[in-house]
Structure 1
Amino acid sequence: MLVTGGAGFIGSALTHRLVQAGYDVAVMDILHPQVHGERPAINLPSSGRLFTGDVTHAPDWDAVLRLFRPSQIVHLAAETGTAQSLSAATRHGAVNVVGTTQLLDALSRSAHVPDQIVLASSRAVYGEGAWQCGTQTFYPRPRSHAQLLAGIWDPEGPTAEPAVPLPSCAGRTEPRPTSIYAATKLAQEHMLAAWTAAHDTKLSVLRLQNVYGPGQSLSNSYTGIVALFARLACRLRPLEVYEDGKIVRDFVYIDDVVEALFAAIARPAAQPRCLDIGSGCSTTIHELACTIA
């Protein structure tokens, strides 16, 4: 089993779970300072093998695949800053898109075809998501600067009736990325779907909701709003809530995400599958801030 990004928040927790279940696990991770700090504290089981390497660098992939021939690959390595991606588009495209194509090219060079690839994708691929206005379902564009200045927080629907957000579902909600990050995650999905179909390899895509829990970095400003609010609360600083605080998110605990990934690994499907991984419960940002404060 090869886990890319396996020293990160989700990756390290998954690696511990896999080793406990008896899997032979190798981890490939660049140990980026934004995620791990200048002096990384590696939380991996003693039997897990760590390859420090860059997924965008072909020689690093070749070195890993010379030493390790994984039956399955869990692809977690990614730049994940939704807002940051707008000002660091090249970095997000390089790691998320080119890092994935480098993986596929390295597999071709090594003449190795894994039984399954599991991709950790993101709820971000849905963008603003689907909304309902009366009997009509529509996909809104991001709100304009003028709308935000006017305090119009919800998108305007095709009729005068109030618009209501619909739960996202891989089986019925169209992906409509509204950030560079989201576009790169959807590109990963498409590229892996094409490659695995051509090589008769199983594919599981898990679109993760907002993951939180022990092991999440409190120093990385782009790790998520739960960690951001927790960091501010620990410093006795106010939690600033934008707009009306009614933005809704699904916050899913790290252990549940690990179990979902583990289930995808342990029980590959005959056909490619795309699954949403969340708690199934909606929480507004205002409710989150009140809970943490």
Structure 2
Amino acid sequence: MKKILITGGAGFIGSNLALKLIDKGYQVTVLDNLSPQIHGENPAETSPLYLSIKDKVKFILGTVTSEEDWKKAIEGQDAIVHYAAETGTGQSMYEVKKYIEVNINGTALLLDLLVNTKHSIKKVVVASSRSIYGEGKYISQELGVVYPTQRTADYMDQEDFEVKYPGSSALTLVGTDETSKIHPSSVYGITKQNQEQMVLTVCQTIGISGVAFRYQNVYGPGQSLKNPYTGILSIFSTQIKNGNKINIFEDGKESRDFVFIDDVVDATILGLEKEEANNQVFNVGTGIATNVLEVANGLVKNYGVEVPIVVSGNYRLGDIRHNYADLTKINTLLGFEPKVTFEKGLKKFTDWVNTQEVQEDQYQKSIDEMKAKGLYK
């Protein structure tokens, strides 16, 4: 397979994957709508992500919600990496129709074409997400393995943010493996679950290999600094660069698995190239939980800019408390091991941010939108 289509290939992960594939001798086609939320209002001239791939790939300006754009993009391709999606757990809770239209219906258009038209596609890799798990996997002293459901406002209003499980004392967090319960707590997570299941179900029935990667929180140089709806490192960085305070939700101890972009690209290429990946789902992360307060303090230290870090007790309905990846499966089947520690990755990220123009801090706008919908407390 030498001809690869990347949908959303001008985005953060997609553009990095495109450049690495080109270095390896692949021919890359990109289908992307250059969304202003990610690329700004004049992306053809000012988007670093788009400019990084311009003239290096065959670029199609289009959308996955258009059957004609899909037909144009699929022609002559050997494999598809499907990244094009609306992202952001919070925003998905009040822009439900848009998230369904792009993420689910866009993927349905692709699969319908693969089933009903002639093509040369042999493999489809789809970007899934850790968000499909909802809360992570825990051990109860009394009950063994448990999967807590979404936290409720009555506890969080009292600044009690830890997850609970009926009949159990305090829970111990462990890594979430691919057999863990799938119970997303956001519309975004639901759409990712749907994408993954559709691709793995339909492709296998027509002799195409499907692969789903459940990415954890991806970060690194090139991440959009314009998007106030997703990417905690970029959101905090823009606030710091503007001299604004950082508002830490809950008690700052909520944690995520932050995985560096280079490791994500390497894992994805293994999925493209290795037959062992066929018709499988894989976690992609570091296997380490890092809390939000550590992230904020690390960024402030690296930038050398003192801004207030306020642990406010505010929270968003639908946010999970903890989740980090168990990497046993991807290590065993594909030989993947993350190479970049969070400390090293954070330094690479902040060094890159220091070379970029300071963006307008639009984070409060996103918070105001959630407040208006009753989702931010």
Q: How does 1:110-129 map to 2 (within 5 A)?
A: 110-129=117-136
SS at match of 1:287: helix
Cα separation, 1, equivalents of 2:247 and 2:101: 32
Say whether 1:62 aligns with 2:65: no
Cα separation, 1, equivalents of 2:33 and 2:55: 19
How far did 1:271 drift? Answer: 4.2
1:144 paired residue number: 152
The one-letter amino acid of 2:192's match is: K
- Unmatched 5+ residue regions in structure 1? none
Cα separation, 1, equivalents of 2:276 and 2:168: 44
Q: How does 1:68-83 map to 2 (within 5 A)?
A: 68-83=75-90
TM-score (norm 1): 0.95
How far did 1:46 drift? Answer: 2.6
> What is the aligned counterpart of 1:187 among 179, 190, 194?
194
What's the RMSD between the two structures over aligned residues? Answer: 1.4
2:164 paired residue number: 156
Indicate if the aligned counterparts of 2:132 and 2:183 stay in contact, CA closer than 8 A: yes
> What is the aligned counterpart of 2:22 among 19, 24, 33?
19
Cα separation, 2, equivalents of 1:195 and 1:29: 24
Cα separation, 2, equivalents of 1:201 and 1:63: 19
1:217 paired residue number: 224
SS at match of 1:25: strand
Cα separation, 2, equivalents of 1:8 and 1:285: 24
> What is the aligned counterpart of 1:35 among 33, 38, 60?
38
Indicate if the aligned counterparts of 1:250 and 1:282 stay in contact, CA closer than 8 A: yes
Cα separation, 1, equivalents of 2:276 and 2:174: 28
Say whether 1:235 aligns with 2:242: yes
How far did 1:165 drift? Answer: 2.2
Cα separation, 1, equivalents of 2:250 and 2:266: 35
> For this pair of structures, how many residues does the alignment match?
290
Cα separation, 2, equivalents of 1:280 and 1:89: 31
The one-letter amino acid of 2:11's match is: G
Indicate if the aligned counterparts of 1:118 and 1:264 stay in contact, CA closer than 8 A: yes
User: Which structure 1 residue ranges, 4+ long, deviate > 6 Å from structure 2?
Assistant: none
SS at match of 2:59: strand
SS at match of 1:38: coil
How far did 1:241 drift? Answer: 0.9
TM-score (norm 2): 0.74
2:60 paired residue number: 51
Cα separation, 2, equivalents of 1:160 and 1:196: 41
Say whether 1:204 aligns with 2:207: no
Cα separation, 1, equivalents of 2:86 and 2:57: 23
Cα separation, 1, equivalents of 2:168 and 2:56: 61
SS at match of 2:276: coil
Indicate if the aligned counterparts of 2:142 and 2:168 stay in contact, CA closer than 8 A: no
Indicate if the aligned counterparts of 1:116 and 1:268 stay in contact, CA closer than 8 A: no
The one-letter amino acid of 1:5's match is: G
Of all paired residues, the percent bearing the same amino acid is 37
Cα separation, 2, equivalents of 1:254 and 1:241: 24
Cα separation, 1, equivalents of 2:168 and 2:264: 39
How far did 1:278 drift? Answer: 0.5
- Residue-by-residue CA offset, 1:19-56 (whole Å, 9 max, x unaligned): 11000110000111111111112220533100111101
- Residue-by-residue CA offset, 1:88-125 (whole Å, 9 max, x unaligned): 01101111100101111223343125111111110000
Cα separation, 1, equivalents of 2:230 and 2:152: 26
- Unmatched 5+ residue regions in structure 2? 301-377
> What is the aligned counterpart of 2:113 among 106, 112, 124?
106
Indicate if the aligned counterparts of 1:15 and 1:45 stay in contact, CA closer than 8 A: no
Say whether 1:133 aligns with 2:140: yes
